[in-house]
Structure 1
Amino acid sequence: PDGTGAFGQAAAVTPGAPNTCGTGGGSTTPVAWPGSSSVSTADGSNVFGQDLSGLYQEGGVLWGAQNSGKLWRLVRDGSGGWKPDTAGGWSSGKTLRFPGGSGSPDGEGVTLTGSGSAGGVFVAAERNGDASGTSRLSVLKYDVGGSGSSLTAVKEWNLTSDLPPTGSNLGLEGITWIPDTALTGAGFKDASTGAAYDPARYGAHGGGVFFVGVEGTGTIHGYVLADSGSYTRVASFGSGMSGVMELQWEPQASRLWAVCDDTCDGRHRTLRIDAGGTFVTAAVHNRPAGMPNYNNEGFSLAGADECVAGSKPVYWSDDTNDGGHALRRGTVTC
């Protein structure tokens, strides 16, 4: 590492070239959705409008990132769905800003670390809406404890120079965080060193690795984001799909979900760390048979505590707001 996150060609991705590294392993023949074939709406009519993208469930809270530079904190509506939190200034979502209070981050994905919201909420953005023709591939950290109507990022890791060029609206779409303990326990290999991943090598960094998905290439990149503001790319591998719109780590099953929208007919892939320390495809799932090919850019899974009779809820966010609904609910086997 050179202190800014760049490293040698071993982990680089050639712009425009297919990247199949990491797609081997299990069968790549699509199979039926591993849960109920039926899906129901999970929001009120025309609550969000278009552009609701990334999702992340934190117990009784569902976080949602909207492309128009807004973050939502949703709470249960009592009927299996979600509604905007009416406390703390969240009723209409909160406007996102870059550090210093400027700009309008095009928020595409959202995740939390193991510290929960007390440790910060992290948003993946692909550009500044005030300069929409230019890529700005960033991970932004927000303190969500205040009651104001806007949120100014307390830190930005701008990854643009470290990644292959992509269209300004084809950048970072998904983000998830995997704890160091899960990675070291599975023998994850650090692509920047070629050796087993050693968290102690990176100093203070929040105790895990952030994985981001790129829409335009279908590639997934793993980053150690240091508390100091520096970063190191420790992984780059293909998702096996033409685009990645969402990433979710499912700790109970030790698997990474990569999700594509209607571009890929709503396919979902699960990936696991193989004996060589790299992520490989474990399974490819079609969308639930009862769900049309919506423009789903967000996906989240409930925790193990919601597992009932072998199934637990999952949620999708429809960027197009088809039929006046942006959130839908289904199930997946625990």
Structure 2
Amino acid sequence: MTEAHAPLWRRTFRLPLVLALVVGSALAAGAVVAGPAHAAAADDIRINEVVTTGSVNDSIELYNKGTGSVDLSGWILKDDNNSSKYKIASGTTLAAGGYVAFDVHSSFGLGSSDSARLYLADGATLVDGFTWTSHSNPSWSRCPDGTGAFVQATAITLGGPNACGSGSGSGGGLTAAAWPGGSAVSTADAAGVFGTDLSGLYQEGSVMWAAQNSGKLWRLVGDGAGGWTPDTTNGWTKGKALHFPGGSGTPDDEGVTLTGAGSSGGVYVSSERNADSSGTSRLSVLRYDVSGTGTTLNATQEWNLTADLPPTGANLGLEGVTWVPDSYLTGAGFKDQSTGAAYDPTRYASHSDGVFFVGVEGSGMVYGYVLQDSGAFTKVATISSGMAGVMELQWEPQASRLWVVCDDTCSGQHRTMQVDSTGAFALTAIYNRPSGMPNYNNEGFFPAPADECVAGSKPVYWSDDSNDGSHAIRKGTIDC
């Protein structure tokens, strides 16, 4: 993401008299307001997180702390003004232990001194409420989820467990370590080849796939000097233009990955919007058949995840995507968020034998999805990276670890995660960028395959979205 965004519109309301009478002296920052006159099922639904400023639109998250699903159809969200209303869509249900976030900014703004209130569909029965006297920084969150007091959490986690205290999402007590490899970094492309907006990387043997935000996919080959250059065969010389299924639009593609089938099984790209309608989020994973010789590629399948994910700015969406094999997940005891039980690939129809993980720039969240060949999808993981944003995700089979990477927003920090004893992905290490690399706007990252290890070290690559010094790809080393 390279373009600047104006701050979100904010406004501050004074509490009307009717609300003041309800909440009384509970108007201190962090006060929780709830009404007693509602059904037992409704009593399990709690306002769980509120975001009033920052990288995502004004949002309110609900959590079901009960043991059964609750139908939220027609329920109403308000701020401190009774005339401000956001009506929850018909058919919306919240499973036990589930989270759902609503982007309310088109209905009302959440000010620095304001309230979030939840009502039954009658608009008069108060279910839950929360009042604050300062903006979220970055998130007002219940700790623990559903039952605790509201605190300023360490990260925005809309749609998933809150980042409370020193949990794995916030750092887990770990401190940033030096880069686990050489400090030196060199350019790995010729000057002026790609220009700006080169983003995701994925190495497949002697080929490097690269996604460019302008709706372009590159197939790169070795340049004979340890770097990469565009393939000049089969229409790849200037990269291939990408479109959505049917040839429409221009995906703002940010990440690229392959499954265990390699590129013959399709190249998968994450996109945050249709560049032809740049003001609207379209959080999608797209699959492309790259076997032809034409210079244009139309997606053979799209999994549009927009409605299933918390709202985010149009240019702050899916930045990274990577595929993790079912074999690792089942062997590590990975827990399926959708069932609350151990992940069982057989409960899903044909789906690539793995789970796709996507990273969100605006929130720093990571989500895992089973993407079925039919176009259906199921969210099986919600992970807080603990960083301000996620620009790249990479699964490294050699070390069985998930790399979660931020750009210059986080001074080029890299984090690694693995499935822990609870069945969730948890933080295992935090690394600073190599000391010899300036704080570039790196949006792509890939550690070379295991077969390139020599004397305990192998290459690692970054792509620089800003094309600093007219170079977009750089090379370093990492310990095997």
TM-score range, shorter chain: over 0.9
Q: 1:106 aligns with which of 235, 238, 252?
A: 252
Counterpart in the other structure of 2:336:
190
**Residue identity in the other structure for 1:10:** G
Cα distance, 1:25–1:189 mapped onto 2, change above 3 Å: farther
Match of 2:95 in 1: 8
Query: CA distance change for structure 1 residues 250 and 285 in 2, over 3 Å: closer, same or farther?
Result: same
Identify the match of residue 75 of structure 1 among 201, 218, 221. Answer: 221
Q: CA deviation at 1:240?
A: 1.2
1:285 aligned to 2:372? no
Please, what is the CA RMSD of the aligned residues?
1.6
CA distance in 2 between partners of 1:234 and 1:268 (Å):
23
Any idea what SS the aligned residue of 1:75 has? strand
Mapped to 1, the partners of 2:431 and 2:422 lie a distance apart of: 24
Q: Distance in 2 between matches of 1:306 and 1:26?
A: 32
For 2:369 and 2:455, locate their aligned partners in 1 and report how far apart those are by CA, in whole Å: 37
For each residue in 1:265-294, what CA deviation from the matched residue of structure 2 results, as whole angstroms up to 9, or x when unmatched? 000000111000001110000000000000
Cα distance, 1:61–1:280 mapped onto 2, change above 3 Å: same
- Give the structure 2 partner of residue 134 of structure 1: 280
CA contact (8 A) 1:27 1:283 kept: no
Q: How far is the alpha carbon of 1:48 from its aligned partner?
A: 0.2
Deviations 1:210-263 (A, max 9, x none): 000000000000000001100000000101101000000001111000000000
Aligned to 1:95: 241
Q: Where does the alignment leave 5 or more consecutive residues of structure 1 unmatched? A: none
Secondary structure of 1:263 counterpart: helix
Residue 469 of structure 2 aligns to which amino acid in structure 1?
G
Determine the C-alpha separation between the residues in 2 that align with 1:7 and 1:39.
48
1:203 Cα offset (Å): 1.5
Distance 2:470 2:379 in 1: 39
Change in Cα spacing, 1:153 to 1:9, as seen in structure 2 (3 Å) is: farther
The answer to whether the aligner puts 1:84 opposite 2:171 as a matched pair is no
How far, CA to CA, are the matches of 1:116 and 1:22 in structure 2? Answer: 32
Q: Determine whether 1:125 maps to 2:267.
A: no
Displacement of 1:24 in angstroms is: 6.6
Q: Does 1:38 align with 2:125?
A: no
SS at match of 2:451: helix
For the structure 1 residues 37 and 7, does the alpha-carbon distance in structure 2 shift closer, same or farther, using more than 3 Å as the test?
A: farther
Deviation at 1:301, TM superposition (A): 1.2
Query: Which residue identity does 1:115 align to in structure 2?
Result: A
Higher relative contact order (CA 8 A, sep 6+): 1
2:403, 2:416 within 8 Å by CA — same for their partners in 1? Answer: yes
Cα distance in 2 for partners of 1:182, 1:175 equals 17
Give the conservation status (yes or no) of the 8 Å contact 1:310–1:333: yes
Structure number with larger C-alpha Rg: 2
Q: Secondary structure at the match of 1:117?
A: helix
For the residue of structure 1 that corresponds to 2:282, the secondary structure is: strand
Q: 1:34 is matched by which residue type in structure 2? A: P
Which among 272, 281, 297 is matched to residue 151 of structure 1? Answer: 297
- The separation in 1 between residues aligned to 2:306 and 2:238, in whole angstroms, is 30
Which residue is equivalent to 2:353?
207
Quick check: 2:267–2:290 contact (8 Å CA) kept in 1?
Answer: yes
Distance in 2 of aligned mates of 1:59 and 1:239: 29
Alignment of 1:155-234 (within 5 A): 155-234=301-380
> Residue 152 and residue 126 in structure 1: after superposition, are their counterparts in 2 closer, same or farther (change >3 A)?
same
**Partner residue of 2:201 out of 55, 78, 101:** 55
Counterpart AA for 1:12: Y
SS of aligned partner of 2:403: strand
TM-score (norm 2): 0.67
Pair 145,25 (structure 1): closer, same or farther in 2 beyond 3 Å: same
Please report how far the alpha carbon of residue 9 of structure 1 lies from its aligned counterpart in structure 2 after TM superposition. Answer: 6.4
Which one of 439, 443, 457 corresponds to residue 297 of structure 1?
A: 443
The 1-side partners of 2:290 and 2:173 are apart by 41
Q: CA deviation at 1:12?
A: 3.3
8 Å contact from structure 1 (residues 10, 191) kept in 2? no
SS of the equivalent of 1:168 reads coil
* Equivalent residue number for residue 66 of structure 1: 212
- Bigger mean CA deviation after superposition, 18-27 or 314-323: 18-27
> Is the contact between residue 55 and residue 64 of structure 1 (CA under 8 Å) also seen in structure 2?
yes
1:261 matched to 2:407: yes
Aligned amino acid, residue 118 of structure 1: S
Distance 2:464 2:415 in 1: 18
> In structure 2, how many angstroms separate the alpha carbons of the residues matched to 1:22 and 1:277?
13
